[in-house]
Structure 1
């Protein structure tokens, strides 16, 4: 498995490195030009194996991953990458069914864009993911950690610790969602509200994606994900974060 740094956004003096995993030469070239014109570094891999070798050499700040690839497909690659790290993953898919796009999110992708895509929208999604992964942001040193039910969430380092002090790996989307809940405890949050808080205005995400990220988040913080006590579903309303939240 390719080495996946726990947090690739460490050298804020360098342009972020975007790895594009795409076997269509025309699309790959267009993406490279879009990334370089926007001030990013860009590398292309046409398969999972080539991506592995590239990540071993350079790492990545964000991965743009095509769903349909020869050999190991993008869904399998996404599952493997997410098991080994939390580098933001944006999936490109030409598949028309919502269930296929939901599958990518369930496997750990942070966002997706459907082909054919609008270059400005794609760029906005990439910048949003990089921003939320803390690239080039000026951390608010006054920000304090938030605690709930023995858990500790640090908005500056973007890390989550369980009641035993063990760091829990999270995707960018999962962290944003948990932070939104912690900032609005005891308040019923609609899916639309949560989308606005976690996608930073990006156009077009489907409401169902919130349900997928909530499900993944429950698996990480709930004692019983099938009978959730911390994140309650409110029928016809949305979600309710039940524990008291305090500033550490």
Structure 2
């Protein structure tokens, strides 16, 4: 009897010693997605966050066919870990559950070239690229300075110029991408169906209708309304309670 009691105490101790994240993972593996959601959200409510928590939350909501919170949490995870292909793939699957089909209007001109180039990497990655290039610049300078051969001096002087130009490009791209990300206010529609108004007034004319899970950009706020823009450049006013801003 004592042995059974000790085993029981050991099992309960191990269970209660688990972190909310580990408990959430166990619930998820057993198909208890609602209980897993409670565990993951308790982490966020405590003021902590991570790409892994948002990613797991997105998976739970996806399993429960709740498109808006699934998309929202995958987007939050992607903000914290923008180069994670698994997050990107699951977000793409979640977006297929949305009703609204919005065709993105591509940018044109020089601004598109800069935007496409800078968005190739996260701004943190651009910073590391600049550091690596700066190290190569210093190595080239050292070889140039201590070398006596004219040909070697010319080669490494040219390398210094090239690395310096690349450093400037990396720094510019990093700041450009950081500014773009920080100034953009993406949001997800959480209402099942919501009318987007032509003016920030509940009685104004309906411009178009959106459904749960659709991503939009918040341009400005006025009273209880957000002015929003879609990927196809349509604009209108939507009630704040119908959407959840990602950042």
TM-score by length of 1: 0.27
Larger fraction in helix = 2
Larger fraction in strand = 1
